[in-house]
Amino acid sequence: MAKRHALVTGAGSGIGKAIALALAANGHSVSLCGRRAAPLEAVRDEIAKAGGEAFVLAGFDVTDAHSVEAGVAKAIAQAGDIAVLVNCAGEAPSAPFDKTDLALWNRVIGINLTGTFLVTQAALASVKRAGKGRIVNVASTAGLTGYAYVSAYCASKHGVVGMTRALALELARTDVTVNAVCPGFTDTPLLDNAVETITGKTGRSTEDARATLARANPQGRLVTPEEVADAVLWLASEKATAITGQAIPVAGGEVLGG
């Protein structure tokens, strides 16, 4: 499935960047989607330096239907139909439930869940045309269980898992598969934000806060973005043709099953 077009949202850093690099290294042309140009351009340059091909789609706001439709259309015009769609854009602010106001709730649901819906709906016809299409949604172990102080995030990721399963069944008689990967605590800028919140509220050191998050993983460590990317790469390959409707934890045994 080399030389096919992959579109990755949230591609400027963390898991999205790792996925984009892995797909490019595997021979895909990659459309890098995000709101800010600079990090996307840095990823593009890294891919180009390694001999790959990538396109920057800055100003790509997953919460805005017009932005999504225009971005997807531009991606198709530049690189052809989208064979692999990876929805990775996300946000994970923390707050106690009784201090989670409607603005925070709507922002998190809008980015994590509605954004995944909008991008998938805009790209789906192209994915079907590409043949052997793959849709991979980056959810979270929060989409399989619950965590305190991130009710909006948990709700959004449970929604992503539910949408993944529903769409997989709708497309089961086509050659398009739809799956989710569910990382546990992963060593990314998003985790750095969580650590900063913990240290700010508790006075604990950065090292102690990171160690606390790592202990949620039975392996006693943080997941790496590259490990999540490897799971996505497999789901995007022909080797995973019979895998659809699954929510696969990448979490060292934190959540068993999916």
Query: pLDDT class for 122, splitting at 50, 70, 90?
Result: very high
pLDDT value of residue 2: 47
- Cα(245)–Cα(220) distance, rounded to whole angstroms? 29
Rounded distance between C-alpha atoms, residue 74 and residue 57, angstroms: 8
**Distance between CA 9 and CA 23 in Å, rounded?**
13
The residue ranking higher by pLDDT, 221 or 108, is 108
Amino acid identity, position 129: R
pLDDT tens profile 34-89: 999 999 999 999 999 999 999 999 999 999 999 999 999 999 999 999 999 999 99
Mean pLDDT of the chain: 93
pTM value surpassing 0.85: yes
Asked if 149 and 94 touch (Cβ cutoff 8 Å), the reply is yes
Residues 7-29 have pLDDT tens digits of 999 999 999 999 999 999 999 99
The predicted model gives 187-201 an average pLDDT of: 69
Q: Is the pLDDT of residue 185 over 90?
A: no
Confidence band for 221, pLDDT divided at 50, 70 and 90 = confident
Per-residue confidence at 193, pLDDT binned at 50, 70, 90?
low
DSSP per residue over the chain, as a string? -TT-EEEEESTTSHHHHHHHHHHHHTT-EEEEE-S-HHHHHHHHHHHHHTT-EEEEETT--TT-HHHHHHHHHHHHHHH-SEEEEEE-------B-GGG--HHHHHHHHIIIIIHHHHHHHHHHHHHHHHSS-EEEEE--GGGTS--TTBHHHHHHHHHHHHHHHHHHHHTTTTT-EEEEEEE-SBSSHHHHHHHHHHHHHH---HHHHHHHHHTTSTTSSPBPHHHHHHHHHHHTSGGGTT--S-EEEESTTSS---
Q: CB neighbours of 47 closer than 8 A, spacing ≥ 6?
A: 20, 21, 24, 30, 53, 54
Residues 153, 157, 161, 209: which is the catalytic one?
153
Burial profile 3-21: b = 16 or more Cβ within 10 angstroms, e = fewer? ebbbbbbbbbbbbbbbbbb
Compute the distance between CA of residue 43 and CA of residue 209 in angstroms, rounded to an integer. 29
- How far is the C-alpha of 8 from the C-alpha of 201, rounded, in Å? 34
Query: Residue 195: its pLDDT value, please?
Result: 62
Residue 201 in this model has a pLDDT that exceeds 80: no
Q: Are 158 and 247 in contact (CB under 8 A)?
A: no
Domain residue ranges of the chain, discontinuous segments joined by +:
5-250
Question: Once rounded to an integer, what is the mean pLDDT over residues 150-176?
Answer: 98
What is the fold of 5-250?
Answer: Rossmann fold (3.40.50)
Residue 153 catalytic? yes
Mean pLDDT value of segment 219-244 = 95
